[in-house]
Amino acid sequence: MKEFDLIRNYFTEQIVKRKDVFLGIGDDCALLTPPERQYLAVTTDTLVAGVHFPENTPAKAVGHKAVAVNLSDLAAMGAEPCWISVALTIPEADEDWVGEFCQGMFELCEYYNVQLVGGDTTQGPLSITITAQGTVPYDKQITRSGAKTGDWLYVTGEIGDAALALQHYYQQIELPEDVLALVQKQLDYPVPCVLVGQALRGYASSAIDLSDGLLADLRHLCESSNVGVNLVLDQLPISNALYDSLGAEKAIELALQGGDDYQLLFTVSEDNKVGMETALADIGETITCIGQLNLSGKITTTLNSQPTQINAKGFEHFDSDQ
């Protein structure tokens, strides 16, 4: 199938038709009409087979994850997702694969009312690049640089399960089928915290999404805000599956360094704690307080109220040791 046939048969069949899309797929550019007094939030992520997802990942999961990781970035800014464009590089025009890929992509887009407005298709090693755009009201944006000394550190959901699934894939551990099914879902079908990000407007002082591992992303937040933090390791939200599979010490280490969680890590002042907790309870979100910021400029850790050393760094692009 030729490129334009592929686009016409698969990428123009989306249900979502937003009113703010004046011109979508089919021309040299899309024409969009952002609302007044809103910032335009823009993010781009590339997923490469064998690097960001296992080679044998189902096409539907690849489509879902490619969208999810971009919506997660928008969520960390408190933005409402609106539009995406997709650059898809595939080895061959496999109609079954492309159809399943689009199904995974469009199901998530439909859930969050996001419209595909353009992109490109080329032949080559499998990779997907998505640019996602959203809107956030003036002065309601959440950035990495707003945290203050004394703020409390929170994380949504549970962390480490996706990394456990990768350990099974790379034959570092053998998981029972029921446990594998549970953690594989976290790896292949992450749920971006879109509603959480919007609920945090006006409460959170800073936020970042967890893509490269809690420790690595926490360092980014601390460096941007010029703060330190004491991280309470026994408060990390780790699933029973992860604890039972690895034991407490290795489970904590994997939760710190494993990526692909796509939860939100955020800070909130003492004055805003109650309002924030109420706002997130109203949307049914589970959150955990895992530390407090300080002036040290360093990440220190305690376990059972005792200082402890950690040996984890998180995923780093272009690291020869990875």
Do residues 109 and 27 share a domain?
yes
Which of 102, 137, 172 finishes a domain? 137
- Domain membership of residue 317 (yes or no) is no
Write the Ramachandran bin of 265: left for phi over 0, alpha for psi from -120 to 50, otherwise beta. Answer: beta
- Domain membership of residue 321 (yes or no) is no
Do residues 123 and 13 share a domain?
yes
Do residues 127 and 269 share a domain?
no
Q: Which residues are annotated as a binding site for substrate?
A: 52, 260, 315
What is residue 83's predicted lDDT score, i.e. its pLDDT?
Answer: 98
Do residues 171 and 301 share a domain?
yes
Domain hosting 82: range is 3-137
Q: What is the pLDDT of residues 267-317, one digit of tens each?
A: 999 999 999 999 999 999 999 999 999 999 999 999 999 998 876 654 454
Question: Does residue 322 surpass a pLDDT of 60?
Answer: no
Q: Which residues are annotated as a binding site?
A: 28, 43-45, 52, 73, 119-120, 144, 209, 211-212, 260, 315
Mean pLDDT, the chain, integer: 93
- Domain membership of residue 237 (yes or no) is yes
For the domain that residue 286 is a member of, what is the CATH number? Answer: 3.90.650.10
Q: Which residues are annotated as a binding site for ATP?
A: 119-120, 144, 211
For the domain that residue 34 is a member of, what is the CATH number? Answer: 3.30.1330.10
Do residues 164 and 285 share a domain?
yes
Q: What is the pLDDT of residues 34-60, one digit of tens each?
A: 999 999 999 999 999 998 999 999 999
- Domain membership of residue 322 (yes or no) is no
Interatomic CA distance for residues 205 and 224, integer angstroms: 12
Do residues 112 and 254 share a domain?
no
Do residues 132 and 165 share a domain?
no
Do 236 and 159 form a contact (C-beta atoms < 8 A)? yes
Find the helix or strand (DSSP H, E) in which 87 lies.
strand 80-90
- List all residues 6 or more positions away from 94 whose beta carbon is below 8 Å from its beta carbon: none
Do residues 156 and 293 share a domain?
yes
Percent of the chain's residues with pLDDT above 90:
85
Q: Which residues are annotated as a binding site for Mg(2+)?
A: 28, 43-45, 73, 120, 209, 212
Query: How many CB atoms sit inside 10 A of residue 171's CB?
Result: 7
Which of 110, 137, 164 finishes a domain? 137
Interatomic CA distance for residues 242 and 164, integer angstroms: 7
pLDDT band at 13 (very low <50, low <70, confident <90, very high): confident
Which of 71, 105, 137 finishes a domain? 137
Task: Please give the tally of structural domains in the chain.
Answer: 2
Beta-bridge mates of residue 131: 44, 85
What is residue 310's predicted lDDT score, i.e. its pLDDT?
Answer: 75
Whole-structure pTM value? 0.93
